[in-house]
Amino acid sequence: MGKYHLTVFQKDGKNLLDETFEAPTNQKAKSIGLELLESHQYTDYTHRCVAPDGTLLLFQR
């Protein structure tokens, strides 16, 4: 299992969420990341989810 990082920002650059979680695959991590965004109601904020190798799985500006 790899460690993935989900980060959410306000427009002024303030960090709203910085969470690390584990997932067995990139696809599962993407799903978990979307669930976290929805549970915190951050789907419309700038966000990114990064895999252990640096691959962007989710990104929105």
Tens of each residue's pLDDT in the chain, 61 residues: 999 999 999 999 999 999 999 999 999 999 999 999 999 999 999 999 999 999 999 999 9
Predicted TM-score (pTM) of this structure: 0.91
Q: Is the dihedral of CA 30, 56, 39, 3 positive or negative?
A: positive
Q: Is the dihedral of CA 26, 27, 33, 37 positive or negative?
A: positive
Exposed / middle / buried, residue 45 (Cβ in 10 Å: 0-12, 13-18, 19+): middle
- Per-domain boundaries in the chain: 2-60
Looking at the chain, list the stretches that DSSP marks H as alpha helix, in order from N- to C-terminal side.
26-39
Provide the pairing of β-strand 46-50 with 56-60: antiparallel
